[in-house]
Amino acid sequence: MLPINPSSYDFRFNKTLNEDVKLTSNQYGECDISFKNGDYENITGIKSLENACKIAILTRFGEIKTDTYSEFGCHAHEVIKDNQNTLTRYKLEMYTTEVLENIRRIDTVDSVTITDNNDFNYDVDFTVTSINDEKISGSVTI
């Protein structure tokens, strides 16, 4: 089991938001698993929900081949190589909103903003409200 801090605020009061393996972003907006002392770094509560949003956006729809996750992932990756225009940004916004709305720990998706990046990359900024009324903002590059 990954180490947790049972006296932390997030663990004690935001347990409904679950726990997860932490992702970190590099200077290019790419995410990878974070390690601490040679092991996965664990996060709980609000940070876990932000992390779950990033994982959902970054996972291609149908990429995980199990019965449990057969409908998991984001369709945004299907239009990444399309021309960068208003319609493509709209599709990305809709696909991102859809995948965030499917996360049970999220009450509402407050905003999703898609910004063109270079080389057919897009910056996705999102704000959601959790089931315990906490606002969470995050961003990821797809």
pLDDT tens digit sequence for 37-68: 777 777 777 888 898 899 899 988 988 887 77
Assess contact for 104 and 72: CB atoms under 8 A: no
pLDDT at 72 over 60: yes
Q: Which residue has the higher pLDDT, 17 or 83?
A: 83
Nearest CA to 139 out of 22, 48, 25 is that of: 25
Q: Which domains does the chain have, with CATH numbers?
A: 9-141 (3.10.450.40)
Structure tokens at 74: 């984001």
Mean pLDDT to the nearest integer, 73-83: 88
Quote the pTM value: 0.78
Give the whole-angstrom CA distance, residue 55 versus residue 138. 12
Structure tokens at 107: 């009450």
**Identity at 56, one-letter amino acid code:** A
Burial bucket for residue 117 (CB in 10 Å: 0-12, 13-18, 19+): middle
